[in-house]
């Protein structure tokens, strides 16, 4: 399967006449990841395409960086991110360092599907590939270049020098790829008190301490929080196995640890990054904050406050990467920050995928900065709520497995499309977006306009009082997902309204099952 996918990629690279650029390959800590990565490399070599393969496991964002750093036409990462241990996967990147988007995605898949005779799938002996200069092991040079790029994103070295040695940080790589790079960047910047969760420190494809290694899940933090209480840590950080997502717990002044969702940590970092760029050098006139359509409306409020452009794109960080490429090629637009609700963000443009290593660094820097102002990260979060409003966002999902499940997911979406709700949970729908039809309908005026985004089977409802709901099928699991958000008058009010809207959404769908 891996060879066939790689042969299809090789055929596509040959078709676009870019064989001379080579392909970078990385892999994670999962079972068979090193073997699959080597098979991919040898298939490329047999097709006359040089493979640059990492010596050991590396984070996804470093692979994204390596593609551009080495001038490659593509990248392959053998990883299943935060999924259960029995999973593995194969991610493909293009020369801009982002995961493939049109037309390359359909072009590559077309070549893969066209392979009907397995005898046409090539491979070669590793020693022969090395001798021919088509198989090169990479490591330290790329690591050092990646670290150098991360350090360029530091805004307040003064705050790190003043408070870095005083902060207590608990970190867990959840048996994955983040351990060495996350600890290295923190140590080199001057964070002296980093406590690593020993039980989760070493790579292990079985992920023995968790049922699945997802920093969105509470169980992923059990050991980290235990250690945090022992050492009185200021914050607890967890990167998923391929180190592109970051989960966060922060301690308040009463010693209570609060969970920061991906929306919360994303907004905290967005506000810190944009505010400090403004303070130190001023914001560019074409500065942009980018988010996905299922990400919190607090991002809109942040963009409005700093008078920067807010750009929305479809779910998937590759679309944020696509926007960065557009800025580069057109010369219009300056990337300030991009994030999605599923615990992924990117500071800087060294990579074109979400980067939990740079997020770890930036969050610790922000903690040092706020500490120098007599605040902790929870204080900073509350200050944001006071400034922008008490936004709360959540997600409900329904698993529907098998062929029947897929059919049911489609029928739910079609039912909503044919009979769109006028109100949900007491909130009046003011406009609806259908990304499959490429239309936005204003319900007050009846005016219709295009979404401006690629076709996708996604429905979105803008409602009164800054509430919203988005419905989409999962891209990786047999689920239909319901993302929603509200704006409250206090944290307690926001919690109450969010719970009520979530129940209303489930009741609406239950009536369609």
CB atoms inside a 10 Å sphere around CB 240: 30
Residue 402, both tokens: 């098998």
Catalytic position from the list 81, 265, 342, 456: 81
Q: Closest Cα to residue 429, out of 397, 460, 458, 395?
A: 460
DSSP state, 112?
A: H
Integer Rg of the chain from CA: 23
Residue 359, both tokens: 């997020």
Length of the chain in terms of residues written = 513
Q: Contact at 8 Å (CB) between 238 and 245?
A: no
CA torsion sign for 265, 480, 439, 456 is: positive
Q: How far is CA 447 from the centre of its chain?
A: 34
Q: Contact at 8 Å (CB) between 445 and 267?
A: no
CB atoms inside a 10 Å sphere around CB 303: 22
Residue 26, classed as helix, strand or coil, is: strand
The CA distance from 166 to 160, in Å, is 9
- 81 assigned to active site: yes
Q: How far is CA 312 from the centre of its chain?
A: 15
- Furthest C-alpha separation in the chain: 69
The CA distance from 48 to 454, in Å, is 34
Q: Contact at 8 Å (CB) between 298 and 277?
A: no
CB atoms inside a 10 Å sphere around CB 192: 12
The CA distance from 278 to 8, in Å, is 46
Q: Closest Cα to residue 252, out of 375, 79, 129?
A: 375
Residue 100, both tokens: 């493939």
Question: How distant, in Å, are the alpha carbons of 144, 461, 483, 484, 497 from that of 503?
Answer: 49, 16, 12, 11, 10
Q: Contact at 8 Å (CB) between 196 and 174?
A: no
Residue 497, both tokens: 């309204």
Active site residues: 81
């Amino acid at each position: 399967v891996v060879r066939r996918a790689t042969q299809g990629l090789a055929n596509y690279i040959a078709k676009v006449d870019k064989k001379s650029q080579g392909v970078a390959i990385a892999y994670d800590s999962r079972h068979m990841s090193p073997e699959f990565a080597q098979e991919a490399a040898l298939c490329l070599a047999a097709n006359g395409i040089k493979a640059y393969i990492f010596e050991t496991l590396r984070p996804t964002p470093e692979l994204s960086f390596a593609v551009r750093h080495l001038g490659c036409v593509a990248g392959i990462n053998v990883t299943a991110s935060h999924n259960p241990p029995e999973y593995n996967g194969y991610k493909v990147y293009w020369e801009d360092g982002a995961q493939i988007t049109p037309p390359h995605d359909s072009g590559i898949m077309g070549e893969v599907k066209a392979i009907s005779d397995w005898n046409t799938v090539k491979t070669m002996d590793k020693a022969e590939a090395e001798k021919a200069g088509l198989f090169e092991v990479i490591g330290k040079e790329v690591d050092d270049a990646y670290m150098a790029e991360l350090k360029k994103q530091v805004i307040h070295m003064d705050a790190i020098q003043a408070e870095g040695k005083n902060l207590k940080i608990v970190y867990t790589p959840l048996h994955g790829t983040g351990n060495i790079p996350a600890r290295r960047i923190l140590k080199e910047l001057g964070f002296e008190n980093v406590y690593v969760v020993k039980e989760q420190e070493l790579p292990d494809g079985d992920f023995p301490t968790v049922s699945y290694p997802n920093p969105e899940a509470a169980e992923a933090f059990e050991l980290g929080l235990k250690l945090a209480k022992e050492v009185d840590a200021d914050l607890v950080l967890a990167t998923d196995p391929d180190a592109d997502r970051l989960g966060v717990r922060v301690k308040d002044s009463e010693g209570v640890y609060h969970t920061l969702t991906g929306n919360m940590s994303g907004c905290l970092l967005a506000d810190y990054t944009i505010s400090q760029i403004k303070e130190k050098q001023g914001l560019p006139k074409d500065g942009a904050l980018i988010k996905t359509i299922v990400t919190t409306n607090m991002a809109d409020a942040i963009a409005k406050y700093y008078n920067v452009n807010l750009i929305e794109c479809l779910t998937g960080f590759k679309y944020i990467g696509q926007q960065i490429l557009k800025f580069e090629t057109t010369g219009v637009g300056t990337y300030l920050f991009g994030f999605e609700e599923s615990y992924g963000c990117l500071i800087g443009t060294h990579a074109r995928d979400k980067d939990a290593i740079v997020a770890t660094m930036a969050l610790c820097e922000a903690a040092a900065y706020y500490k120098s102002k007599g605040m902790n990260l929870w204080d900073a979060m509350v200050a944001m709520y006071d400034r922008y409003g008490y936004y709360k966002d959540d997600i409900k999902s329904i698993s529907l497995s098998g062929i029947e499940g897929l059919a049911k997911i489609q029928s739910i979406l079609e039912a909503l499309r044919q009979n769109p709700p006028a109100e949900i949970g007491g909130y009046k729908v003011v406009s609806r977006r259908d990304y499959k039809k490429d239309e936005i309908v204003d319900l007050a005026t009846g005016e219709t306009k295009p979404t401006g985004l690629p076709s996708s089977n996604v429905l979105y409802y803008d409602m009164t009082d800054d509430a919203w709901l988005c419905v989409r099928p999962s891209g990786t699991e047999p689920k239909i997902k319901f993302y929603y958000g509200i704006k409250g008058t206090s944290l307690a009010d926001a919690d109450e309204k969010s719970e009520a809207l979530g129940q209303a959404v489930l009741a609406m769908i239950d009536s369609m099952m």
